[in-house]
Amino acid sequence: MITGKTKVLAVIGNPVEHSLSPVFQNAGIRAAELDYVYTAFPVKEGKLGEAIAGMKALGICGLNVTIPHKERVMKYLDSIDKDAEVLGAVNTIVNQNGVLTGYNTDVKGFVGGMKQMGYEPKGKQAVLLGAGGAARAIIWGLIQEGVASLTIGVRNVPKVRPLVEYFQKYMDITLLDWSTPEFDRALAKAQLLINSTPLGMCPHVEAMPPVNWDKVSKGILVYDIIYTPAETLFLKQAREHGCLTLNGEAMLIGQGAESFRLWTGIELDTEVMAQALREALA
């Protein structure tokens, strides 16, 4: 039951009506029997400053932030966490007695998905396909976890070079055109293969990044950050090739659970959250 004592959490963005965060966050909250409610607030262009001021005025405990506000919101906050600072984007705001701190939980969500299935990325040779919106968090997560090497394969090398140069101060990264023999050689050494492109996402389920499976070792982990569909063509081919597979559900749920932990200090039941997400998608 929602009362005057119920604490409010929300996601802001534009548009935000499609967000599934309220579905799985509220499922976790109910399972934990906590007096919180999580909703969604659309915030239009030019209204972000007013929205953040409203967060303070209304005593909203925490916000998730999505497109197009993840970068712009930083100037309205009192402090920024290290991950958010490196990534240049905030997806979580904690309101502690009127002091607003920005975090980015995508990194922990990405890494947590692997660790949840017992996979340790430290010391592995990693290959990343594409440099889409989640690539910065993936790269930073792999660097922090101590992968032995990181190769990024893309369609347009010049376009992605500034991103790679930004992270070169933390780790030597190889950037290659994914249609070249050099990239095939990197694939042959890969122990972890990740897709950060939108290729294969609903409704274009017939698409996938170009991978020469003959070069990929059987038994490695193949991770696709897409979660609709649950098994992309990329993951299907990886599974049939004999690889371990992981989709983006764990990353989505993981970043949400980490946000809630930052807001409350409480760890929600991620399986309950994941089940609510699957039901909503179905």
Q: Which active-site residues does the annotation give?
A: 70
The percent helix, strand, coil of the chain (3-state, each to 5) is 40, 20, 40
Angle, helix 21-31 to helix 249-264, in steps of 10 degrees: 60
Contacts of 96 (CB under 8 A, 6+ apart): none
* Residues 134, 106 contacting (CB under 8 angstroms): yes
Interatomic CA distance for residues 29 and 35, integer angstroms? 8
Q: Is the dihedral of CA 58, 64, 67, 68 positive or negative?
A: positive
Q: Among 216, 260, 259, which residue's Cα sits nearest to residue 240? A: 216
In this structure, the chain runs to a length of 282
Rounded to whole angstroms, the Cα distance separating 191 from 119 reads 11
Distance between start and end Cα atoms, the chain: 27
